[in-house]
Structure 1
Amino acid sequence: MSPKVTLQDVADKAGVHRATAARAIRNETKISKEVRERVQKLANEMGYRVNPLVAALMQSRRNTRVSRHTVIAYVTNYPTRYGWRPPHIDRPDYFPGAQARAQELGYKLEHFWLGEPGMTPERFSNVLTTRGIHGLLMGRLPPKIEEARLLWERFSSVALGRTLRTPRLHYVTEDHYAGAALAVRQMIEKGFRRIGFVSTGRDDSPGVLNRWLGGFLREQLKLDAKNRITPFFFIPEPDTEKNPRQFGRWYDKWKPDALLVTEAPPFFEWLKTLKIRPREIPMATLVNERLDEKWTGIYCDHTLLGSLAVETLVGLMVRGETGIPEHPHEVLLSGKWMEGVTLGRKK
C-alpha cells in the first residue's frame, strides 16, 4: 500500500507554504486563481484527500470556538494516581497514543485523577469547567469499580475499553469477538482440532469474556462434534492453587491438542504449579501485549486505540455533543495475529 499523501506533500510539490496549499484547496479567494488551480490539480493527481475530522476541527478554529477545546482531560480512578499505568499494573497504556494524536489535532491531553483527597464529582466537574475543559477521555477503571459520577451534561465524553458500565458513554475498544474468531481460524489452519478455551482471570471489563467466548464458539462449530471441548473458566478462590488443580483435571479429561487462553502470565503460573513445562502444551493468547515475550496470539495496538479514542472525542466536541448519549456506540479496533514460539504447527 502506498504511503498516504499529506497536505505537506502537496505543498512541497507546488512550491508553496503548507497554509497556502490548505487555503488553495479550500478555494479561498485570497489565494490567486492560478495558485488555487495549480494546487488543486496537483492534489487531485497525487491522490490527496482531506481528513473530514481535521477539516471540521479547523473550521471550528476559524469560527473562534477553539478556546473551549484547548485541553482534553484523561480521567482515571485507580487507588493511586498512576496505578493505571505500567509498571504499576499489567494492562495496556492508552495514554501515549491518545496524547500524540491530541497534539496532532492541536489539543493538549492532561491527566486528571478522581482519587484526589477530598474530591467529589461536583468539585471535579467544577475544576474542569473553571479551566475551560469540555472534553473527557475516560481511562480504564480498576477492578470492582464500574461507575463514574460527574456532571456529564457539561462534557463531551468517550470511554476507553469496557470497564465503565455507568453511565453508558461512547466506547473505543478492541474487537474481542473478532480476535477470538481469528485466533481459532489460525489454530485450525495450523492443524489443531481439539482446541480448548481457557479463561485465566477475572473479567474486569464486563462483557469481554462473553465476546471472546462467542468468537471461539462460533468457529468451534466448524469442527467435528468429537473435537468440541467444553471451555474452562477461572473461578476466584481464596486458595490460589485451586484453579491450577481444577485446570489440571479439566486438561486430563478433555486432552486438547492446543489451548487458547485469555491471558498468558497466569496460565504459565498454573503450569509451574502443576510442574508442566510451557513448551509441552501448544498455546495462543488473546492478550498478546508483551511482544518481547514472543507469545503467539492476538495483538491489539493500544497506541492506535488511544488515538482512535481522541479522534472520536474531538468529533463530539466539534459537533457540540455533550452529556450521556441517547444512543451510545462503539468504535472497534481489530487485533492482529502475531506468530510467536508458544504454538507452532500440529505435529
Structure 2
Amino acid sequence: MSGRRVTIRDIAERAGVSKSTVAYALKEDSQCAAATRERIQRIAMEMGYVANPLVSAHLANVRRAESKAGYLATLAYLSDRPLKQMLAQGFPHMGAYDGARERANELGYHLEVFHYENPDLSWDRLKGILQSRGIHGVVIGPHRGSKVQLDMEWDCFSTVIIGDSIAYPRFHSVGFDHLGNMELLFSRLFRKKGRRIGLALSGFINRRVRFQFRSAFDFFQEELETDMRVPALISEQWEPAVFLKWYSEYKPEVIVTVYDDVRRWLDSIGVRVPQDVEIATPAIMADSLDYSGIHLPLKTLGKLAVDTVAAQLFRNEKGIPESRCVSLVVGEVRTGKTLREGLV
C-alpha cells in the first residue's frame, strides 16, 4: 500500500471486520467492544492510518443535514449556578452562555446546563448522568471564585474551560487577553500627555486576571517621569475608606478600574465623573454600562469554547491533555461617558 493513503476498507480487510466496525472503533464508540476497539486501533496504527479531515467534515455535514432538525448530540455546560440564576437579569457571565448556546445550535448540538454544586449531585453521579445521556463534550462556564478544583473523572469527555477560575484539571481553555487589553488601553490613555493615571483594583480582581492588569500598569509607569507616576492601589480591603484615602493622597486625573465601585465612591464625596476625574476600564462586560475602555465580547468567548470542544470531539481527544492550549480573545475599544474624550 506504499504511495497511497490507508483507508478504512484496508483496515477492515486486515482485521477481518466490517467497515462500520472499524469506524466505530476509531471513534471510540461504545457500540464496538473494548477489546475489538483496541485491536483495530493497533492495526490502524501499524498500517499508518491517518484520518482525512475533509472527508470527515463532509460526512459530519451530511449526517447533520439528514438528522432531524440538524441535531447531532448534546453538550454539557457545567456551571456553579443553576440555570434559573443564570437567566436572571444582571447575571455577569450570561453572554458566555448565550454565545456557547448559539454556536452549539449552529453546529447541530444542543447545549444543556448542569449545576454541579447541587448538594444532591455527587461527581460520580454527574459523570454517570452524562455518560447515560451520551454526552461526550463539556464546556465549563465562568465561575464566581478562583482556583476551583473539579474532582470528577474526565477520561471520557472532551472538555474546555471558559476563563481562568479552574485550577484543576488543566484543560484547554479560552479567555481574554487581559495583558494585551490593558496594554491597548494604556497605549490610548498615554497618548494624551500630562495626565496622571492611577490603577485601583481589589485583590480579588488582581488575582483573578493573574496580575496582568498590574503588570501592564507597572510597565507603562516606568516610562514616565517620576512626578507623573501614581502608585497602584491593590487592596484586599476593597472599601470606600481605603480607596478615598488613596485618591485624596495621590489625586490621579484618570483612574483605571473594574466594576462600578470607584464611580459610586467618588460620587459620595461630590467628585464628578468625567468632569473632575476620568475613569477607564479594561473589562467592560455588560453592554448596559456606559464606561470608556475595552469591551470584552463574552459571546465570542462562548462560541470559541464550543468550537474548541467540537474540534476535540472531531479528533476524538478526551481526558486531560498532555499539552494544554489557551486561546485568547482581544477586546474592542469602546468610548463611553467616563472619559472626556474618546480612546483614539
In structure 1, what residue type is equivalent to 2:258?
T
1:272-305 Cα shifts (integer Å, max 9, x gaps): 3334233321110122133333210110111111
Q: 1:236 to 1:254 in 2, by over 3 A?
A: closer
Amino acid in the other structure paired with 1:323: G
Tell me what 1:284 maps to.
280
Distance, in Å, in 2 between the alignment partners of 1:110 and 1:337 is: 33
Match of 2:249 in 1: 253
Match of 1:127 in 2: 129
Shift of 1:318: 0.6
**Which of 250, 262, 267 in structure 2 is aligned with 1:267?**
262
Instruction: Tell me if 1:71 matches 2:77.
Output: no
In structure 2, what is the equivalent of residue 211 of structure 1? 212
Shift of 1:118: 1.6
Residue in structure 2 matched with residue 109 of structure 1 by the alignment: 111
Alpha-carbon distance in structure 2 between the residues aligned to 1:94 and 1:73: 14
* Cα RMSD after superposing both structures: 2.9
Note closer, same or farther for the CA distance 1:194–1:135 as it changes in structure 2 (3 Å cut). same
Letter matched to residue 126 of structure 2: F
1:208–1:138 Cα change, 3 Å: same
Q: Which has the higher strand share?
A: 2
| Match of residue 82 from structure 1 | 84
Aligned partner of 1:304 in structure 2 is 300
Deviation at 1:214, TM superposition (A): 1.5
- Greater alpha carbon shift after TM alignment, 130-139 vs 52-61: 52-61
Instruction: Find the partner of 1:157 among 144, 156, 159.
Output: 159
Please tell me whether the aligned partners of residues 173 and 333 of structure 1 are also in contact (alpha carbons under 8 angstroms). Answer: yes
Aligned to 2:222: 221
Whole-angstrom distance in 2 between the partners of 1:216 and 1:105 = 40
Deviation at 1:219, TM superposition (A): 2.6
Instruction: Give the TM-score of the pair, scaled to structure 2.
Output: 0.75
TM superposition shift of 1:82: 3.4
Secondary structure of 1:159 counterpart: strand
Q: Is 1:295 paired with 2:296?
A: no
Identity between Structure 1 and Structure 2 (%): 27
Greater shift after overlay, 107-116 or 221-230? 221-230
Normalising by structure 1, we get a TM-score of 0.74
Q: CA deviation at 1:234?
A: 3.0
Query: Does residue 316 of the first structure (1) align with residue 312 of the second (2)?
Result: yes
Distance 1:295 1:257 in 2: 16
Supply the distance in 2 between the matched residues of 1:99 and 1:274 (Cα, whole angstroms): 44
Q: Residue 160 of structure 1 contacts residue 306 of structure 1 at CA under 8 Å; is this kept in 2? A: yes
Provide the residue aligned with 1:331 in structure 2.
Answer: 327
- Tell me whether 217-226 or 167-176 shows the greater mean CA deviation: 217-226
Ranges in structure 2 where 5+ consecutive residues have no aligned partner: 1-51
Deviation at 1:175, TM superposition (A): 0.6
Q: SS state of the match for residue 142, structure 2? A: coil
CA contact (8 A) 2:136 2:157 kept: yes
**CA distance 1:202–1:62, shift in 2 (3 Å):** same
Q: Report the alpha carbon displacement of residue 59 of structure 1 after superposing the two structures with TM.
A: 4.0
Structure 2: distance between partners of 1:249 and 1:112: 44
The letter of the residue matching 1:219 is F
- Distance in 1 (alpha carbons) for counterparts of 2:175 and 2:325: 11
d(CA) in 1 for partners of 2:268 and 2:227?
Answer: 30
**Is the contact between residue 162 and residue 206 of structure 1 (CA under 8 Å) also seen in structure 2?**
no
Counterpart of 2:321, as a letter, is P
Task: State the alpha-carbon separation in 2 of the partners of residues 206 and 318 from structure 1.
Answer: 35
1:215 offset after TM fit, Å?
A: 2.0
- How many residue pairs get matched? 286
- The alpha-carbon distance between structure 1 residues 200 and 144, as it changes in their structure 2 partners (threshold 3 A), is closer
Q: Which amino acid is the alignment partner of residue 339 of structure 1?
A: T
CA-CA distance at 1:341 after TM superposition: 1.6
Distance 1:55 1:216, change over 3 A: farther
Q: 1:253 to 1:151 in 2, by over 3 A?
A: same
Q: Secondary structure at the match of 1:75?
A: strand
Gaps of 5+ in 1: 1-51, 238-242
Q: What one-letter code is carried by the residue in structure 2 that aligns with 1:124? A: L
| 1:171-190 Cα deviation digits (max 9, x unpaired) | 10111001111111111123
